[in-house]
Structure 1
Amino acid sequence: MSQTHRTREQWLELIAEFEQSGLSQKDFCDQRGLSPAYFGQRRLRLQREAEDNGVGFALAVPKSPTSQQTVQLRIGQTELVLPLSVSPRWVAQLVKELSA
């Protein structure tokens, strides 16, 4: 497997893809040419970093294209449904304010 430098944001995107994929970590990594051990280390490090900062991972699930073009954000038992037209910066600011 080749070594590719990824930014923190790229790792977060990969982890989000993995979480939504329904695949085992090994299968996910095999499909993308990643080392499962290194992927697991990066994932754990970013999760611990998020916990230390009081920030958790949130699962964002886009609804099917036939729906009303919304995105659902779920954190624990809390769910927020927003139209896709909402600015990502607005969502980020909302999450930041709610976590304060």
Structure 2
Amino acid sequence: MANRRSDQEWMAIFQQYESSSLTQREFCRQNNLSPSTFFAKRRSLQLSNESHQSAFVRAEVVEQTTHYQFTKLALANMTLSINEIELSIPQGTPVGYLAELIGALQS
């Protein structure tokens, strides 16, 4: 029978993951978690919490121009520049998410 976890248990798991230096896949392997379940539950909880405390902004690419719609003012941002592309990351973005993002950009 599958091990059912509450949202609070999942949040604790995600906090543990974010404070680790492991990739999502390695974290799941070490903690006996299905990567697909981990990703789906993480995304589900992020969507449900988005209205409460979203630090991210939605961006839309139109004719090689990016338009930003800010929902609230960030105190300090980190900016990654690759060739002619700049990505602004809000203060307080989880380190685990940044590691995944940078890994995805490398491929």
With normalisation by structure 1, the TM-score equals: 0.52
Counterpart residue number, 1:48: 47
* Partner-residue secondary structure (3-state), 2:2: coil
Tell me the CA shift for residue 33 of structure 1: 0.6
The size of the alignment, in residue pairs, is 58
Query: For the structure 1 residues 13 and 56, does the alpha-carbon distance in structure 2 shift closer, same or farther, using more than 3 Å as the test?
Result: farther
Unpaired runs of at least 5, structure 2: 56-89, 93-107
Structure with greater proportional strand content: 2
Q: C-alpha distance in 2, partners of 1:25/1:6?
A: 18
Tell me the CA shift for residue 55 of structure 1: 2.3
Letter in 1 for 2:39: G
Letter in 1 for 2:27: F
Tell me the CA shift for residue 56 of structure 1: 4.6
1:75-90 alignment, distance < 5 Å = 76=91
Letter in 1 for 2:19: Q
C-alpha RMSD of the superposition: 2.1
1:22-53 per-residue CA deviation (whole Å, 9 max, x = no partner) reads: 1011100000110001100000111111112x
Letter in 2 for 1:47: Q
**Fraction of identical pairs, as percent:** 29
Counterpart residue number, 2:8: 9
Letter in 2 for 1:43: R
Higher relative contact order structure (alpha carbons within 8 Å, sequence separation ≥ 6): 2
